[in-house]
Amino acid sequence: MNDAIPDQSSDEAARDGLWLRLIYIVSAILAAAVAFLILGPRPEGLHGRLDVSALPTVNAALNGTATLLLLTGFVLIKRGHVEAHRKAMLAAFGVSAAFLVSYVVYHWFKAGPKAYAGDHRGLYLTILLSHIVLAAVVLPLQLITLYRGWRMQRAKHRRVARWTFPIWLYVSVTGVVIYAMLYR
């Protein structure tokens, strides 16, 4: 009779394994697609076809909004407001996804990266490089953290959120800093 009852932990482990593989695959595909769309060849005639001049400001606003939502979510969970925390974090993820779309559109329709013209080139390049590397790292962490939270795997969620939160926050804040260094 016990053979007829499926092993819940084995089923959950199999489901987790499937979702984690999908998260890694989707993250790798998205990172490669973003790199190609930004750095790869563009069809002739795209530059200037769409006015994207406002998008850096939009992107900075989206990063700033993500920062505020992340901090709000952090405060909410520390106060024990799980459902409000969940909503804030889903909103932060949505804003970050909107940023990614806007960022890709901007870089697709403009000629090339804006050159830094300030007096702190070393600082700028350090922030930019760390931002780019951590932006690539944070996507799978975000997805895993959201998955663990959605499945109410609280211990596993907390373990990965301890890494995801500071990296995501850093990427959001440095996105605004990079904007300020380039456009202000």
Domain ranges, ordered by start, for the chain: 52-183
Q: For residues 136, 137, 139 and 143, what is the CA-based torsion angle, rounded to 10 degrees?
A: 160
Instruction: Note whether 103 and 35 are within 8 A (CB).
Output: no
- Percentage above 70 pLDDT, the chain: 93
Q: How far apart, in Å, do the first and last CA atoms of the chain sit?
A: 71
The pLDDT assigned to 137 comes to: 95
User: How many percent of the chain have pLDDT more than 90?
Assistant: 70
Contact by Cβ (8 Å): 77, 85: yes
Which of the following CATH numbers is that of domain 52-183: 3.20.20.70, 3.40.50.1260, 1.20.140.10, 1.20.120.80?
1.20.120.80
Residue 7's pLDDT is what? 47
Identify the pLDDT of residue 112: 65
Taken in order 98, 18, 169, 179, is the CA torsion positive or negative?
Answer: negative
**What is the rounded distance in angstroms from the CA atom of residue 171 to the CA atom of residue 104?**
16
For residue range 111-154, what is the model confidence (pLDDT) as tens digits?
Answer: 667 788 989 999 999 999 999 999 999 999 999 999 999 999 99
- Provide the pLDDT for residue 111: 63
Q: Poorest-confidence range of 27-41, 60-74, 123-137?
A: 27-41
pTM: 0.87
The amino acid sitting at 113 is P
Q: Could you report the per-residue pLDDT of 70-88, keeping only the tens digit for each? A: 999 999 999 999 999 999 9
Confidence of residue 4 (pLDDT cuts 50, 70, 90): very low
Question: What is the helix (H) or strand (E) element at residue 81, kind and residue range?
Answer: none
Q: How far, in Å, CA of 66 to CA of 128, rounded?
A: 18
How many other C-beta atoms lie within 10 A of the C-beta of residue 11?
A: 10
Sign of the alpha-carbon dihedral angle for 164, 141, 18, 94: positive
Asked if residues 142 and 168 have their Cβ atoms less than 8 Å apart, the reply is: yes
C-alpha 143/C-alpha 160 separation (Å) is: 10
Confidence check: pLDDT of 172 > 80: yes
